[in-house]
Amino acid sequence: MLGLVYLLGCSSPPSALLLYTRTTGFRHDSIVAGVAALRTLAAQDGIALHHTEDPAVFAAGRLRGYAAVVFLHTTGDMLDDAGVQALDGFVRAGGGFLGIHAAADALYGSSTYREVIGALFLSHPALQTGILVVEDDLNPATRQLPARWQHADEFYDFRSNPRGNVRVLLRVDETSYQGGGMGPDHPIAWCHSVGKGRAFYTALGHPIESWSEPLFLEHVRGGLRIAAGVLPANCSPN
């Protein structure tokens, strides 16, 4: 197992990750496979993972002790305003956030949540194979990937392009699939700083099959390590 470098002066691994999968909109069939895969990835780094769909955990003080919060396929208004503020405060104080796929299909009325995740979902074409282009081959979430990665997924279009506010790690080549709506600059995974904390988002992970695909799991593993503060990463805007 990769030797780990712990940040923020810690001499021991982060205590735990909080995995949240509550949905009030569309519910993905791949949630079960995603939870199992994330539990395995966390365990391989010696980190406990606590899975919940109870929004009451997002209350003042209740996130203390977690290294990062992971939103897997969360949709709709799965947090109230107080919950969003608790999440935002946790990250800004030095915590981590990892959003996966439909985490961007949520909380459209919250500019605070948009700042944490980076951009919100607009639409997507049918599930199909496309080419993902690595923009940062040093980042833990992309350095194991080929420069042009052929992958099958739902390639989200976003309501705004986050470039300039985030470090884009992967973009999707719209000439390689049908129905893209963002043009030649189409970010699909990124990381950025939120206050003193770390945020990572990938729009990939829709199909159940993704969660047993080695390259995709390496991508998620890197994002998990960034969010948890296990590995350093340059997340300054590019």
Dump pLDDT digits (tens) for 108-138: 999 999 999 999 999 999 999 999 999 999 9
Residue 164 belongs to some domain of the structure: yes
Residue 187 lies inside a defined structural domain of this protein? yes
83-111 average pLDDT score: 97
Sheet of strand 197-202: strand arrangement: 48-52, 16-20, 68-72, 96-100, 197-202, 187-194, 167-173, 128-134, 148-153
User: Is 4 a domain residue?
Assistant: no
**82 falls within a domain:** yes
What total number of domains does the chain contain? 1
Average pLDDT, the chain: 93
20-37 residue pLDDT tens: 999 999 999 999 999 999
**CATH at 60:** 3.40.50.880
Classify residue 125: in a domain, yes or no: yes
Q: Is residue 185 part of a domain?
A: yes
Give a three-class secondary structure readout of 154-170. Answer: CCCEECCCCECCEEEEE
Q: Is residue 233 part of a domain?
A: no
- Structure confidence by residue, pLDDT tens digits, 223-237: 999 999 999 999 999
Q: Residue 149 sits in which domain range? A: 16-228
Instruction: Show the tokens assigned to 103.
Output: 């985490």
Work out the average pLDDT over 187-191. 98
- CA dist., res. 228 & res. 216, Å (int): 18
Q: Is residue 9 part of a domain?
A: no
Amino acid at residue number 71: F
